[in-house]
Structure 1
Amino acid sequence: MKCLLYVLIVWGQALLSDAFDVAVPKATLIGIHSQSIVLGCSFTVNGSSSLEHMIITWHRTESNEVVHSYYYGKDQLSQQSEQYSGRTSLFPEEFKHGNVSLKLERVRAADAGQYMCFVSSQKGRSKGTISLRFAAYYKDPQLLVKLQPPSVTFILKSQGYPGASVLWYCVEDKNVLLKPNISLIEGEDGLYSLQIILQVDNTKTYCNHVVEIQNCLVNQTVTRKFSLLLPQESVQEQNKCKNYLIGLTCCILLLIAIIVLLSVIYKQQHH
């Protein structure tokens, strides 16, 4: 009750003023996986405004979860949502300049959404809403090559967010895009596991491959270049070996058939 009465008194005082305003960025902010971000919020400073009765509240508009709150001259985090515990802070030394921005650390996928900054003081009260999107830079892809004559399979794996666009081509002919199979699987951490698979005939591997993974949200392009050159002699030898094995198998089968036939004839002659 005491806290509620305190809030009502401050709000009542705020109604007496119409020169109080809160400003937040209009552009959507991008939070990067595991990094920190500052959600900007400022209020109008009029003369020697007392900070003693200031109330600052940050919460999610979708769920009304408390992200961070400040009153009675200190942080009040007993009602803070568990997912933000230990990850938020304000800048008290900046309050006198009207800065009530929120620092959010170790950004994760679940942090994406709408945030409301509410400020109340003896001079007035107001609020503003900020949009936050989540992104993760794609890692340098790991390359796996499977030789399965008469074809070669290239497999590249990476991880990031959101879904990326993929370009795969040969340096020798950039205008012809290769068409790999692409799959995205969302993990428990909200990141996408990206897998890119391309299968080609090993007689067509004379190509300097270039794979570009583009994350447009953060203007990132990860490029992987590689080559797999199989000499034509090797291909011919593989074909010769294959033909030899086929011929050898046929000869063995023919020899077995002859032996069986001779055995049958021999038994007939001795009966």
Structure 2
Amino acid sequence: MLCRRLLFWILLRCADCFSVTVPSSPVLGVRRATAHLPCAFEPVSDLSDLVITWQREEDLQVVHSFYYGTDQLERQGRDYINRTKLNHKEIPKGNASLSIAKFGLKDAGKYVCVVSNSKGTDRGVVHLVYAAFYSEPKLSILLNSTDVTVQYEMEAYPRPEVMWQGSGGQNLTGQVEVSSESDGGVFYLKSSYMTQSPVFNVTFTLKNPAVHQKLQRHVKVYISDGKHFSLG
């Protein structure tokens, strides 16, 4: 009975001997860039029995595998062929972080990092989220007999924060139209401001908090005879 208790105590202690460390907060991946999924473990001097496996959590699809001292990609999911990479120089230091090139919307999700060595086995889950830098806004001026509409068009993801302001900084009412998500992982967005004034000065601001991007454009319009206008 005493031996059983001792064995249970040893196994319980050993369960705490090895652990994998991953970020507790979501990790951002940017469209068409290389995404980095951090994963760290307690290293050992002998790497002969080290096994690193990255998988998608929802379907356990193999994203990248490493054992016998080299990458083992025979069972790698087709979506990740020639796109994933471990830093082999950092592995002996306990770094099992994975890089995914040409990151896209379909790559967003939860990834499981499983590491095994002579000290034990542990796993961690990395939540990878997607964002895209906004494209340069395209300006259009729509003029008719009663009013003028200033409109910007752009690609964006996620849906941006949009603001129109007057020359005194006052908040103006704008209209925002967002199309459905495209295959490229972006929204096509139109935002406009309409006025009946022949002379006006407005500022258009677009914010992408996910990647800390801010675009601001100033427009001055002078309508001379109801048919012609100039931009300041």
Q: Indicate the TM-score class for this superposition, using the shorter chain for normalisation.
A: 0.7 to 0.9
* SS in structure 1 at match of 2:73: coil
CA distance in 2, matches of 1:86, 1:225: 44
Which one is further off, 149-158 or 111-120?
149-158
Contact 1:58-1:67 at 8 Å conserved across structures: yes
Tell me the residue number matched to 2:4: none
Q: Which amino acid aligns with 2:133?
A: Y
1:193-249 deviation line (CA, Å, top 9, x unaligned): 111133332xx1422111111112222211111111113xx24x99xxxxxxxxxxx
Gap regions ≥5 residues in structure 2: 1-10
Structure 1 position 85, deviation (Å): 1.4
Q: Give, in whole Å, the separation in 1 of the partners of 2:193 and 2:23.
A: 44
Q: 1:57 to 1:15 in 2, by over 3 A?
A: farther
Over aligned residue pairs, what C-alpha RMSD do you find?
A: 2.1
Counterparts of 1:52 and 1:16, CA distance in 2: 24
The C-alpha deviation readout for 1:56-82, integer Å capped at 9, x for no partner, is: 100111121111111122111121111
Deviation of 1:41 (Å): 0.7
Q: Are 1:96 and 2:89 counterparts?
A: no
Kept in 2: contact 1:88–1:102 (CA 8 A): yes
Distance 1:185 1:198 in 2: 22
Q: What is the match of residue 220 of structure 2?
A: 227
Which residue of structure 2 aligns with residue 139 of structure 1?
135
Distance 1:53 1:130 in 2: 24
Report the CA distance between 1:183 and its aligned residue.
Answer: 2.2
- Mean CA deviation greater in 67-76 or 15-24: 15-24
* Structure 1 counterpart of 2:187: 192
Can you give the 5+ residue segments of structure 1 that lack an aligned partner in the other structure? 1-13, 239-271
Distance in 2 (CA, whole Å) between partners of 1:100 and 1:91 is 8
Partner of 1:246: none
- Say whether the 8 Å CA contact 2:156–2:187 is kept in structure 1: yes
Counterpart of 2:205 in structure 1: which amino acid? E
The correspondence of residues 80-95 of structure 1 with structure 2, limited to 5 A, is 80-95=76-91
Identify, as 1 or 2, the structure richer in strand: 2
Amino acid at match of 2:39: C
Question: 1:112 Cα shift?
Answer: 1.1
Larger Rg: 1
Tell me, yes or no, if structure 1 residue 117 matches structure 2 residue 113.
Answer: yes
**Count of matched residue pairs:** 217
Q: Which residue of 1 aligns with 2:144?
A: 148
Query: With structure 2 as the length reference, what TM-score do the two structures score?
Result: 0.86
The corresponding residue for 2:171 is: 176
- Identity among equivalent positions (%) equals 31
